[in-house]
Structure 1
Amino acid sequence: MGVEEVLAAARAGARRLSAPEVAAAQADGALVVDTRTPAHRREQGEFPGALVIDRTVLEWRLDPTCPWRIPEASGPDLLVVVVCRHGYSSSLAAASLRAVGLHRATDLVGGVEAWVAAGFAVHRGPADVRS
């Protein structure tokens, strides 16, 4: 199976969100998690209200049963919206979060590129970086 098939499987059955839907979900208490690299965040700007969590520790920080979770990882019903640069790695990350029990985990269609294209703001920092 190639990467396109892996991506399709990760997205199967998921309700991915548009930029306006992410804004509404965030206003309703969804946790937005930015997994972009520091270089991409410098280039594109910081996603407002997002927690920055490196992709390499994402599951450990968000699994509510994990001893290394962040305080915001309140339970399996938490709506987590993962954002990345273009909306590809965020789909894989959201699928991984669903696999560890966060059944509502999803991502932003088109990533931060789509967020900006839809007219939503980014900022230059500081970011809420969790390691």
Structure 2
Amino acid sequence: MHKTSKDMVTEAKGKIQNLDPAQVAAEQEDGAMLVDLRDEPEIRENGRIPGAVHIPRGMLEFRADPTSPYHDESLNPEQRVILHCASGGRSALGAVTLQEMGYTNVAHLDGGFKGWMEQGQPVENG
């Protein structure tokens, strides 16, 4: 039997730390790196979380890998990294991927940007 994308996200959420918007805001204040995995049009249309670094989901593995020519120097396997997307699916899958790549302190924003906005957290124009 094949897995659905929903199955994969549910499985991923069981392997990672799922944070609510208030927890993410507090961790961001304490220096955690927040990574926005959404595509550029989503950010332009809906805005962004202040201070979040944009790395599209399709580039995450390449930006996170220190041996890749596309490596983002701001990503460090030792630091606290919190991923988010629109609703939490891509970020859950991405967090599992980072763990598999050796990142030891990864989490994701459960409910994503949508949940962030619903909780009245700050948003800036995209």
Fold match by TM threshold 0.5: yes
The match for 2:102 is 101
Are the aligned partners of 2:33 and 2:52 in contact in 1 as well (CA < 8 Å)? yes
Q: SS at 1:41's partner residue? A: helix
Q: Deviations over 1:45-80 (max 9, x none)?
A: 122101101111111212345453212123x22111
Are the aligned partners of 1:84 and 1:111 in contact in 2 as well (CA < 8 Å)? yes
Q: SS at 1:16's partner residue? A: strand
Give TM-score scaled by structure 1 length.
0.85
Per the alignment, do residues 101 and 23 of structure 1 end up closer, same or farther by CA in structure 2, a change over 3 Å counting?
A: same
The match for 1:46 is 48
| Residues 1:25 and 2:30 aligned together | no
Give TM-score scaled by structure 2 length.
0.89
Aligned length: 124
Q: Structure 1: state its 5+ residue gaps.
A: 126-131
**Distance in 2, Cα, partners of 1:9 & 1:114:** 20
The match for 1:79 is 80
Q: Percent identity among equivalent residues?
A: 35
Q: SS at 2:35's partner residue? A: strand
The match for 1:129 is none
**Distance in 2, Cα, partners of 1:13 & 1:55:** 19
